[in-house]
Amino acid sequence: MLGEIKRNHNSSVSSVSKYRKVVSFVTEAMAEMHADDARKLGVKTGDSVRITSRRGQEVFHAKVTDNSQPGLIFVHMHDADRMCNRVTIDAVDPISKEPEFKICAVRVNKA
């Protein structure tokens, strides 16, 4: 399956980990994907999937949902053991130097 990976880029593990209450909500980064995409790959929630881009690859557990848009993969960035930054682009706005929304083309396979 080809798709895009999106991640939240508004905070970092280092700033979040300072607050115990917030850390208790931070969980394993999972590859959230639409049920139709998961069905095509033969993937169920909890299965491992390999997400690969031109920049790199990472393995995540899948979370199958109907809340995701078909063709898109979402991975949050708060898991130091499974870094979606290994997959996403590192482009920044040339004027503000803010990171892009971390959207890039990826290939997803059952691992």
- The Cα 2–Cα 52 span in angstroms is 9
Phi, psi (5° rounding) for residue 98? -75, 145
Phi, psi (5° rounding) for residue 73? -120, 130
Name the least confident of 11-15, 27-31, 37-41, 92-96: 11-15
Q: Over 80: is that where the pLDDT of 7 sits? A: no
- All residues at 6 or more sequence positions from 39 whose CB lies less than 8 Å from its CB, including other chains: none
Please report, for the chain, the start and end positions of each structural domain, with discontinuous segments joined by +. 2-110
pLDDT-based confidence at residue 11 (cuts at 50, 70, 90): very low
Q: What's the pTM value of the predicted model, to 2 decimals?
A: 0.70
**2-110: in CATH 2.40.40.20:** yes
Q: Tell me the average pLDDT of the chain.
A: 79
Q: Over 70: is that where the pLDDT of 68 sits? A: yes
DSSP conformation class of 71: T
DSSP conformation class of 24: T
- The Cα 88–Cα 55 span in angstroms is 7
